[in-house]
A and B are shown apart, each in its own frame.
Chain A
Amino acid sequence: MKELSLHILDVTQNSIRANAKLVNLTIFESIAKNEFTITIEDDGCGISAEKLQYVTDPFVTTRTTRKVGLGLSLFKAAAETCGGYFEISSELGVGTKVVASFMRDHIDRVPLGNMPDTVVTMVMSFEETDLIYEHNYNNRSFVFNTREIKETLEVTSLNEPDILQWIREFIRDGLEEIMEEE
């Protein structure tokens, strides 16, 4: 994947398949700690302890359309190549948590990439599922919560172009604000 945000988009597609009601995405960036950590947690159906051992094996997938499952294995490889770590934990009926941590300044760490478009694509995919995205950059944070937007607009789905465009600009502005030089 050319961007970390594409791994995020990919992993959250698993949450949809797991019938999650809520996906919590947290990105923690710290220049002082040289850390870039992505955490994706859902309340979907979970993965059994037996299957959890094999999920990062590229030759394991629950799909029937093809025989390989590259999503989690690529994410794990990306983190481990960058002096970081990858963890996945899950409980049946409770949910799944994926953590991928990178050395922020590692030469092989690909950029986070286009988060506004990634979030828009996630929202278009999510239907009823909600997303809480928190981005912490050097102790400044930005939060995006689809539940808040749905409550304000009194709608159940945000898959409407004018809402999506607003979300795109909201994410762009929010991230710019926390990342601008002091």
Chain B
Amino acid sequence: MAKSLAELKAIREKKLNEINLRHGKNGYRVVVGMATCGIAAGARPVMVKLMEEVQAKNLVDVTVAQTGCIGMCKLEPIVEVYDSNDEKVTYVHMTPEKVTKVIEEHLVKGNVVTEYTMTVVDGKVIDTTVKA
């Protein structure tokens, strides 16, 4: 086996300080809809891209996880970004390319990428057409 657990342990020890930071509560929590609808629509490459970008940009206070069906299957893959106040932004019809932009604009600079979101009024989706 080319890869050994010892090697992994060495990588970890170098980065231990970062891990403690990630468990702080100041950062973003990103969740991907990972039910049958999300998976069939392409949630896996979106999830993997999020992981790659978080690593590449060294975003130590961002966690990426999964959620179930959000109830808008035709808008999958859906990515929800929660800030430290638990305010949520919902991105729809996501792709790995869109992930790169959301990471750069939203998670790094704090600017919501409005063109990838949907229009919601009083909790109801009023415009499900994709803006971009």
Contacts and interface: CB of A to CB of B under 8 A. Distances in A.
**Most chain A beta-carbon neighbours within 10 Å: one of B39, B52, B55:** B39
A177 B51 contact: no
Contact of B71 (A66, A71, A127): A66
Interface residues of B, number: 36
A159 B37 CA distance: 23
21 contacts: A1-B40, A6-B39, A10-B35, A63-B69, A65-B69, A65-B70, A65-B71, A69-B36, A70-B36, A120-B47, A121-B34, A149-B8, A153-B9, A160-B19, A161-B54, A161-B55, A162-B11, A163-B8, A165-B55, A173-B3, A174-B3
A149 B51 contact: no
B45 interface: yes
Interface of B: 1-3, 5, 7-9, 11-12, 15, 19, 22, 34-37, 39-40, 43-45, 47-48, 51-52, 54-55, 63-66, 68-71, 73
B51 A164 contact: yes
Contacts of B45: 117
Contacts, number: 105
A33 interface: no
A71 B71 CA distance: 15
Interface of A: 1, 6, 9-10, 13, 16-17, 63, 65-66, 69-71, 74, 114, 117-118, 120-121, 124-125, 127, 148-149, 152-153, 155, 159-166, 169-170, 173-174, 177
B8 to A, nearest CB: 5
Contacts of B44: 6, 9, 114, 117-118, 121
